[in-house]
Amino acid sequence: MMLQRTKADQVLPVYLNFFSNFKTPSDVASTNMKKLNSMLYPLGLRWRIKRFKEVSQSIVEKFRGKVPQTRGEISRLPGVGDYVAGIVLSIAFNKKEWIVDSNVARVFKRYFGIPTSKEGRRDKQVIDIARTYADCKYPKKANLALLDFAAIICTPRRPKHEQCPLSGNCHYFIHGIKKGE
C-alpha cells in the first residue's frame, strides 16, 4: 500500500519506521489516527492513512489478525484490488499469484506487441500473460524480477535496449525502434 503511486526510495524510510513501531495488524488497528498520520504523511496521498487503519481493523475482525492467504479473501479487505492482492500473496507467501501494475503492463505490451490502452493493467491479454508468468517454481522471484526489469531496463521513457536481454524477440524493439518509431 505504501508503494501505490510512490517511488521505492521515498517509501523505504517510512516503511522501516512504520514496521519498527507496528509488528502486527492488531498494533495498527489499535493505534490512533494521529500517530498513523505522523508516520505515513511523508508519503502523501492521505487517503492511504485511513486505509491502513481500515485494512488492519478488517484483518483483526474478519481474519483473527492474520493476513489472508487467498486472492478471494485478501480482495475482501477495504481498498485491496488485484495488484495489492497479487503482490502480497506472491511476495509475502510465495504463492503463484499474478501481478499487473502499469509497469508490468508496459513490459508485456511492448514485448508481445499488444495494442496500448490507458488501462493496460486491466487488459485481459496482459493479465493472462501475467498469470502464466507467475505459474512457476519461484513466483516471488519471478514477480520481483519483472518489477525490477520494468524499473531499470524497460522504463517508460528511453528504455535501455542496448542492455535488454529480451530485445531480440521484443516486438517494440523490432517493429518500433528499428523502424524509427
Residue 179 has a pLDDT of: 45
User: pLDDT tens-digit profile of 5-55?
Assistant: 788 889 999 999 999 999 999 999 999 999 999 999 999 878 888 999 999
110 exposed, middle or buried (CB, 10 Å; 0-12, 13-18, 19+)?
A: buried
- Note whether 110 and 172 are within 8 A (CB): yes
| Whole-number Å distance between alpha carbons of 134 and 132 | 6
User: pLDDT tens-digit profile of 111-150?
Assistant: 999 987 777 777 899 999 999 999 999 999 999 999 999 9
3-state secondary structure of 144: helix
The segment(s) of the chain belonging to CATH 1.10.340.30 are: 1-66
The amino acid that residue 60 corresponds to is V
Which band of pLDDT confidence, cut at 50, 70 and 90, is reported for residue 87? very high
CATH class assigned to 1-66: mainly alpha
The segment(s) of the chain belonging to CATH 1.10.1670.10 are: 102-177
3-state secondary structure of 44: coil
CATH of 102-177, one of 3.10.150.10, 1.10.1670.10, 3.40.50.720, 1.10.1270.20: 1.10.1670.10
Q: Is 94 left (phi over 0), alpha (psi -120 to 50) or beta?
A: left
Diameter of the chain measured on Cα atoms = 58
> Hey, what's the cell of 21?
513501531
What's 4's DSSP letter? Answer: T
Q: What is the pTM of this model?
A: 0.84
